[in-house]
Amino acid sequence: MGRNPFVHPTAIVEPDVKIGAGTKVWHHAHVREGARIGRNCVLGKCVYVDKNVRIGNGVKLQNRVSVYEGVTIEDDVFVGPHTTFTNDLYPRSFNKKWERMSTLVKKGASIGANSTILCGITIGKYAMVGAGSVVTKDVPDYALVLGNPARLVGFVCVCGKRVEFEREGRKYVTLRCNSCGRKIKVKKEVWLEVEKKS
């Protein structure tokens, strides 16, 4: 409602940064030139947002999260403390012609504390990455992934609770949340991948 963003006096916000109304940038955060941050976000202590990063509305980046160039974070994403996004698959300090890779985190996804997200992947909408995971490949919508490397172990609801099988269709499986009653659909081949492991 027209609220200005709050930037703590110790934070560094470089020129040509856009920060939406109601967003809070806390102690010692650093937002680089060209970054775009939406409305009602929270950037915790010592968060680093690299140049040209795109962050949607309602995003929470907890303390010491590092978001490097090439990362796009959609609305309502939660990123736990000490999470790091990468942007180079073959890093060398002396490489002058490195290739930046893009990463996309879709709406409503949650990433647990101390996770590492390798570049060039997509984390699906409302997916959940367990704390300490190393994500090396795409994560489907509503998926729950854990470990190093992160593996698909189940599915979660929009509310974050695990969901159970309800019915199978030709292309999709319907899953039900016993907590909030919501139903979600996931691709049948993705569901079967989890079923084989259990």
120-153: pLDDT as tens digits: 999 999 999 999 999 999 999 999 999 999 999 9
Q: Which residues lie below 8 Å from residue 88, measured CB to CB, with a gap of 6+? A: 98, 99, 100, 101, 119
Residue 126 has φ and ψ, to the nearest 5°, of 55, 15
Contact by Cβ (8 Å): 41, 23? yes
pLDDT at 1: 39
pLDDT at 198: 60
R_g of the chain, CA atoms, integer Å: 18
141-191: pLDDT as tens digits: 999 999 999 999 999 999 999 999 999 988 999 999 999 999 999 999 888
pLDDT at 8: 98
3-class SS of residue 193: helix
49-108: pLDDT as tens digits: 999 999 999 999 999 999 999 999 999 999 999 999 999 999 998 988 888 999 999 999
Domain 6-91+100-160 falls under CATH 2.160.10.10: yes
> What one-letter code names the amino acid at 198?
S
Contact by Cβ (8 Å): 86, 70? no
Instruction: Supply angle C-alpha 61, 64, 66, rounded to 5.
Output: 75
Euclidean distance between CA atoms 126 and 133, whole angstroms: 17
Q: Which residues lie below 8 Å from residue 166, measured CB to CB, with a gap of 6+? A: 174, 175, 176, 183
Q: Is the bond leading into 149 cis (omega within 30 degrees of zero)?
A: yes
Q: How much is the pTM?
A: 0.95
Euclidean distance between CA atoms 129 and 195, whole angstroms: 19
Domain positions in the chain are 6-91+100-160
pLDDT of 197 over the 80 cut:
no
